[in-house]
Amino acid sequence: MKHDSNTNLVRGGLNRSQFNETSEALFLTSGFVYKSAQQAEAIFKGSKKGFQYSRYSNPTVEIFEKRLALLDGSEDCFATASGMAAIFFSLMCQLRAGDHIVSSSALFGSCKEIVKNILPRYGIEVTFIDGKNINEWKKAVKKNTKIFFFETPSNPLLELIDIRAVCNIAKKNKIITVVDNIFASPVLQKPILMGADVIVYSGTKHIDGQGRVLGGAILSSKKFKENVLKSFLRHTGPAMSPFNAWVLLKGLETIKLRVEAQSHAALEIAQFLNKHSKVEEVFYPFLKNSSQYQLAKKQQTMGGTILSFKIKGKKKEAFKFINKLKIFDISNNLGDTKSIVTHPTTTTHRILMEKERLELGITENLIRLSIGLETVSDLRKDIETALK
Ligand SMILES: Cc1ncc(COP(=O)(O)O)c(C=O)c1O
């Protein structure tokens, strides 16, 4: 029977053991035992179903993969140890020396490091473009282009890329589109339904959402997982720990409630900052004066839990504001139930060259806020006091 998506968040993929536990069982085991040498042979050959080794697959991890795939709308999923493992392997599993990849330049610092510095070491050619400009995607296509890669909204400036438009260009040129959907989460945006081929997540962010474990996931069609991903991942080993999968399963049960409540609060905070005299500019796609408001409405159901703003002044003023906050934690994670403040220039995007950072608009007065589940009026008062 096909269930509603909310039901799937608590029951999707459920595979009870012989003990009929209510909560999902945690199979904290690296390996599995076979009844006979013949059974081991059959399972390794694939003629019989069964778990072999937790680097390949594990019952708890499998429940997580099935549940996340139901939420994302993708056919299949491979869970990884972190979001960065998901990003790296989603690209590496498809590429070989001599291939070309086109990437939006507005990327999270570690993602930029992979595309800009690591892939070229293996003979992969890279072109960075302004992903907002659809013509740039068209113009960048070469005979050897294999992948289009981007994040939307981007970290930290919440820039949006028109997923449908980019995927259309990709399809016409037989290019695989890989979308980092970490900022919006699968609750607010479903790139797979807009033509994307591969979606990547950091489970560390909204999926856990409670600051406990690292995790990641690569979602795709069954065919892509079977033919491109599976062997590459099984033999290189970025597998998710069963314990982390179990924690993340609990996160999935409440992700919709959390992300929607946090997004309501984030919009309220963005609107408040938008009118404040000490604020130069606010970046949040669901603000009506945002140049990307129409696109945001087209591809996201809400604006998301994260916003950024430029405080009037320089690094000194930004640091003063950050240090004055009483509720917000100074940290670099996001999508957490606890509100977090980040200074991207000196932390998450420190790895970028200054010129590159400034070209992207990541200035020293830029502050990123991840809005949690505290009472919004408390958060607003905290910000108001710190701005004073
Ligand atoms: C857009 C984006 N992609 C990828 C990642 C990496 O995720 P993880 O920290 O789980 O490796 C992050 C983390 O901040 C991110 O913001």
Give the pLDDT confidence of 219-264 residue by residue, as tens digits. Answer: 999 999 999 999 999 999 999 999 999 999 999 999 999 999 999 9
Distance from the CA of 202 to the center of ligand 1, in angstroms? Answer: 5
pLDDT per residue as tens digits for the range 326-359: 999 999 999 999 999 999 999 999 988 899 999 9
Atom of ligand 1 nearest to the CA of 151: 1
> pLDDT-derived band of residue 299, with 50, 70 and 90 as boundaries?
very high
Q: And the tokens for 195?
A: 């033509």
Q: Is the pLDDT of residue 289 over 80?
A: yes
Is 64 within 8 Å of 240 (Cβ atoms)? yes
> Going by CA atoms, what residue is nearest to atom 9 of ligand 1?
83
> pLDDT-derived band of residue 198, with 50, 70 and 90 as boundaries?
very high
Query: What mean pLDDT comes out for the span 149-169?
Result: 98
Q: Which residue has the tokens 């409630």?
A: 257
Q: Is the pLDDT of residue 9 over 90?
A: yes
Is residue 93 in contact with ligand 1, taking CB distance under 6 Å?
A: no
From 161, 201, 205, give the residue whose CB has the most ligand 1 atoms within 8 Å, as the site to mutate. 205
What is the predicted pLDDT for the residue at 300?
98
What is the predicted pLDDT for the residue at 351?
86
Is residue 240 in contact with ligand 1, taking CB distance under 6 Å?
A: no
Is residue 111 in contact with ligand 1, taking CB distance under 6 Å?
A: yes
Please, which residues have CB within 8 angstroms of residue 112's CB and are 6 or more apart in sequence?
A: 105, 351, 352, 356
Residue 294 neighbours by CB distance under 10 Å? 10
> pLDDT-derived band of residue 2, with 50, 70 and 90 as boundaries?
confident
pLDDT per residue as tens digits for the range 88-118: 999 999 999 999 999 999 999 999 999 999 9
Query: What mean pLDDT comes out for the span 209-224?
Result: 98
Is residue 216 in contact with ligand 1, taking CB distance under 6 Å?
A: yes
Query: What mean pLDDT comes out for the span 144-171?
Result: 98
Q: Is the pLDDT of residue 1 over 80?
A: no
Atom of ligand 1 nearest to the CA of 214: 10
Atom of ligand 1 nearest to the CA of 155: 1
What is the predicted pLDDT for the residue at 352?
86
Q: What structural domains does the chain harbor?
A: 5-251 (3.40.640.10), 256-387 (3.90.1150.10)
Kindly report whether the global pTM for this prediction surpasses the value 0.85. Answer: yes
Q: Is the pLDDT of residue 71 over 90?
A: yes
Quick one: angle between helices 242-274 and 59-72, nearest 10? 30
The residue among 216, 178, 173 whose CA lies nearest residue 195 is: 178
> pLDDT-derived band of residue 5, with 50, 70 and 90 as boundaries?
confident
Is residue 114 in contact with ligand 1, taking CB distance under 6 Å?
A: no
Rounded Cα distance between 144 and 238, Å, is 27
> Going by CA atoms, what residue is nearest to atom 2 of ligand 1?
108
pLDDT above 70: percentage of residues in the chain: 100
Average pLDDT, the chain: 97
Is residue 126 classed as helix, strand or coil in its secondary structure? strand
Atom of ligand 1 nearest to the CA of 202: 10
> pLDDT-derived band of residue 288, with 50, 70 and 90 as boundaries?
very high
Amino acid at 47: S
Is 131 within 8 Å of 102 (Cβ atoms)? no
Distance from the CA of 163 to the center of ligand 1, in angstroms? Answer: 19
Is residue 108 in contact with ligand 1, taking CB distance under 6 Å?
A: yes
pLDDT per residue as tens digits for the range 16-45: 999 999 999 999 999 999 999 999 999 999
List strands edge to edge, sheet with 216-220: 76-80, 216-220, 198-202, 176-180, 145-151, 100-104, 125-129
